[in-house]
Chain A
Amino acid sequence: MLLRGWSFLLLCPVQNSDDLDRINRFKNGDTAAFGELVLAYQDKIYNLCRYMLGNVHDAEDAAQDVFLKAYQALPRFQPDASLYTWLYRIAANTCIDYRKKPIFASLFGDSGEGERLVHDRASDAPSPEQLYRSKQIGRELQISLGKLSPKLRAIIVLKEIEELSYEEIADTLAISMGTVKSRIARAREELQKLMQKFREQNP
């Protein structure tokens, strides 16, 4: 038991020194330091919200809420925890609890206006065919993800999109490693079935 306690301390992620500096400045009344934190993490948090909620406007709304919650809670933040894990926790919970806007609001929400896309994994510039295929797969994935339960969606997005380890996911969602393992397996299984069904219905 004691060993487990010590191993947790050893495995605890080291705080980024820039983050630590910004947190300290913010706690001393420098609100510009919070602006720097927003700039540093806005893409990661927005991307998570975008995959969790499926459209641009809900994603921006939820991502703004995440930073406002962080702004209010940051004075109580303990620097022995990782800031990005803490932000991901707020983001995952905000998206899980997010109430969809009325239907008339979401009718105008899928334009992708103002949003920027990054194909960061391609080694070279993708060809038009690759871009088309990527967009098609993205649509398939997004629709299938939308049919998963919010908890399964959160865990698979944290794993596959944000590329967190099981330990980081357990820390972010405050669940055990065993639960992480079983939920990821279940999310993959359900997602495969949903994507298969989507392909059959949209040949």
Chain B
Amino acid sequence: MNCPKTKLISAYLDEELPSGDRAALETHLPGCAQCGAALMDMRALRAAFASTARHQAPYGFSTRVMARTVELEKKKAPWFVPFFVRSAEAAVLLMVIFVGIMAGRFMTNGSSMTQPVNLASSLSLDLFDAAPPGSLGGVYLAMTEASNEK
């Protein structure tokens, strides 16, 4: 037959029983073999736990944790930040192209700044006029055409 007081043994061992229950169990223990055996078994289990080693964190543990917190912070950046950076990059690139075109127009046709601006014509390859007949380019073109006819 199971003694109902065995269920109190665990809390008794941990000194977590109210004083009244504790005193009653201490009076009961010497006369109950079942409770006596349960107490001995639990003390043996406690001794087993007490004899086992405690594990310390491996070397470099805190460094690895801190490295993961840095990764975490990088991921925390708002989603629109990369989009904003890309947009700014594209705007700068367009600005550089525009300034380049305007500078090119100014250098090839110094007075063009006073004339009405035609963006389409500035982008066209007509900017490069045919070589005049007396120039070095004209002589070269005449020679290549003559050799092609042969």
Contacts and interface: CB of A to CB of B under 8 A. Distances in A.
Contacts of B60: 114
29 contacts: A31-B66, A38-B62, A42-B57, A42-B61, A43-B55, A46-B61, A59-B55, A63-B57, A64-B65, A64-B68, A67-B65, A68-B69, A68-B72, A71-B69, A71-B72, A72-B72, A116-B55, A116-B56, A117-B55, A118-B56, A120-B54, A121-B51, A135-B53, A166-B14, A181-B16, A184-B11, A188-B42, A191-B45, A192-B42
Nearest to A51: B55
A89 B59 CA distance: 24
A117 B68 contact: no
A50 interface: yes
A119 B66 CA distance: 28
Helix, strand, loop or mixed for chain A's interface?
helix
Which size bracket describes the interface of A in this complex? Answer: 35 or more
A14 interface: no
Nearest to B64: A64
Contacts of A34: 66, 69
B89 interface: no
Interface string B48-88: 11111111111111101110110010000000000000000
Contact of A43 (B7, B50, B56, B72): B56
A42 B68 CA distance: 15
A114 B53 contact: no
Given A42-B57, A71-B69, A141-B48, 10 more contacts: A31-B69, A42-B61, A46-B55, A64-B68, A114-B58, A135-B53, A138-B51, A160-B49, A188-B42, A188-B45
